[in-house]
Each structure stands twice: as C-alpha cells, then as structure tokens.
C-alpha cells in the first residue's frame, strides 16, 4: 500500500484477475487457486496489521520499512528509510471523507508523494499536509489505502504456482506456495513465496517476492483488531 513501496516496485506488478466460487474448499484447490483464495479472503477482512520491508543492493531508494494498519475505511502507514536516502513519512488516509494526511521528509515530498519543487518540499517537510480528493496527487496517495484495494493491488498472484510444503511462521502453521512469473515486455521475472494459513479459510501470513534487483518481504498479523485513525490538523492543504 505504500507510495514508496509501490512506486519502486511498479515494474514487478503482475496481478491475476481470477475469481473463484465462494464455495470452493481450500483442500480441493490447486496452488494458484489457493493463493487467489487467500488474497480474496484477505480483501474481505475488517482490518490487518502489515509490515513491509523492501531491500535492494542496486537501488538506494528501495531500502525501507513500512508499518501499516489497514481497514475497510482507511489506513495509517509509517515509512522509515535509511540515513542515506532520507525517505520517511507518515500517511493517514480517510476513505470516507476522501482526505489523505501526510507528514514527510523533503525527499519524500519531492520524489515520492506530492512532486513538490525543492523549495516548497523543504518548507512543508515535517508538517501535516492535507490532500483532498480534488488534488491531482490524491489518487496515487489514496491507492491501496483500504484493505480491499491493498490486497487486490499489492499481493502478487500470477504466473505458475506449486505447493512447496508446510512450515511455521511466527508460530502459525502455513502452507507455502511458490509462484513464478516469466518476464514480459512490461514486467521482469518475479519469484515469490507466499505463506497462507492452513484450514478452510486461508489467509496470507507472509510474502517474499523478488525481481529486478528488489526483494520485498511482507507479513500480516492482528486480523480484525480495531484501531483509530487520527485526523491531524494540517499545516497546509492541497485541493
């Protein structure tokens, strides 16, 4: 769901559009169907806690951690980069009022979030900014800031899939699914391991995806827990 995460990973996006019957039982599904079912089940949840870690030895900007709470009505994400890329921001999205609040470093405001010129980016850095739905940057900021859009857009389920055995992640028994997507004219080859819970209603637990010199590790926990989205007082507004 993260602006920096997905702008960096845009070449990796290769999502399937499969829709499975709601009556399909997990034990009767093949590997790709199981992965899609887990993603669909995730989209239907009330909320989730998500931690994404992006690493790349070849791209300095592709090194950061994003800690997110995502619900049906909005999300809060906190992105922390490195001491060299200076990428950091907190984003709060209210989908019901169609406003996104951002407090960010100048680098994030200039290169990842609002496309500000260096002077305005430095001026607005460290302050809460309100971006309304009428602003041109709103669609990018608001993309994948609900649990449905987050999983629909950002959990990679494509290519060929095989069941790769059982394991345990943070004490949770999981079925491991290995997905491989061949390179196309628009996307590089993608190699992914997706861990989903064992049982009749599988949910994603962890995703490790790599391609084009970038590795993304995402974990999902605390399904259905309530959290409160703040409404910051903005220093400036964008409409």
Cβ(74)–Cβ(96) below 8 Å:
yes
- What pLDDT score was predicted for residue 85? 94
In this prediction, residue 204 has a pLDDT band, given cuts at 50, 70 and 90, of very high
pLDDT, tens digit (0-9, with 9 covering 90-100), for 92-141: 999 999 999 999 999 999 999 999 999 999 999 999 999 999 999 999 99
- What pLDDT score was predicted for residue 13? 34
- What pLDDT score was predicted for residue 8? 38
Q: Strands, DSSP E only, in the chain?
A: 47-55, 64-71, 74-80, 88-94, 99-104, 129-132, 160-169, 172-181, 190-197, 204-211, 214-221, 236-238
pTM for this one?
0.86
Cβ(12)–Cβ(211) below 8 Å:
yes
Tell me the mean pLDDT in the region 173-184: 92
Going by the DSSP 8-state scheme, the letter that residue 31 receives in this structure is H
- What pLDDT score was predicted for residue 19? 31
- What pLDDT score was predicted for residue 5? 45
In this prediction, residue 18 has a pLDDT band, given cuts at 50, 70 and 90, of very low
Q: Provide the percentage of residues in the chain whose pLDDT is more than 70.
A: 87
Cβ(49)–Cβ(69) below 8 Å:
yes
The residue whose two tokens read 């997110």 is 68
Please name each of the domains of the chain with its CATH number: 3-8+16-227 (2.50.20.20)
Per-position b or e across 122-133, b if 16+ CB within 10 A of its CB: eebbeebbbbee
Going by the DSSP 8-state scheme, the letter that residue 175 receives in this structure is E
- Kindly report the average pLDDT of the chain as a whole number: 88
pLDDT greater than 60 at residue 62: yes
Picking from 203, 186, 190, the residue whose alpha carbon sits closest to that of residue 159 is 190
Tell me the mean pLDDT in the region 23-34: 74
In this prediction, residue 186 has a pLDDT band, given cuts at 50, 70 and 90, of low
- What pLDDT score was predicted for residue 158? 80
CA atoms within 13 A on the CB side of 9: 29
pLDDT, tens digit (0-9, with 9 covering 90-100), for 206-220: 999 998 889 999 999
- For residue 141, give Cα distances in angstroms to 148, 169, 174, 236: 15, 31, 33, 16
- What pLDDT score was predicted for residue 28? 65
């Amino acid at each position: 769901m993260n602006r920096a995460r997905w702008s960096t990973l845009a070449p990796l996006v290769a999502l399937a559009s499969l829709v499975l019957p709601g009556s399909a039982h997990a034990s009767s599904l093949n590997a790709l169907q199981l992965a899609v079912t887990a993603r669909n089940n995730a989209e239907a949840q009330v909320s989730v806690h998500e931690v994404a870690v992006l690493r790349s030895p070849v791209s300095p900007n592709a090194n950061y951690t994003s800690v997110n709470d995502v619900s049906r009505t909005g999300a809060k994400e906190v992105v922390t980069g490195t001491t060299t890329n200076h990428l950091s921001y907190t984003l709060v999205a209210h989908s019901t009022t169609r406003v996104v609040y951002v407090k960010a470093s100048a680098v994030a405001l200039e290169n990842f979030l609002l496309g500000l010129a260096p002077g305005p980016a430095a001026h607005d850095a460290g302050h809460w900014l309100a971006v309304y739905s009428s602003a041109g940057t709103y669609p990018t900021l608001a993309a994948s800031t609900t649990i449905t859009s987050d999983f629909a857009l950002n959990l990679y389920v494509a290519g060929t899939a095989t069941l790769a055995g059982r394991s345990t992640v943070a004490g949770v028994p999981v079925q491991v699914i290995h997905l491989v997507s061949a390179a196309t004219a628009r996307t590089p080859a993608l190699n992914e391991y997706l861990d989903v819970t064992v049982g009749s209603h599988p949910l994603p637990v962890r995703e490790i995806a790599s391609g084009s010199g970038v590795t993304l590790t995402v974990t999902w926990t605390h399904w259905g827990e309530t959290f409160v989205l703040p409404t910051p007082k903005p220093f400036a507004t964008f409409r």
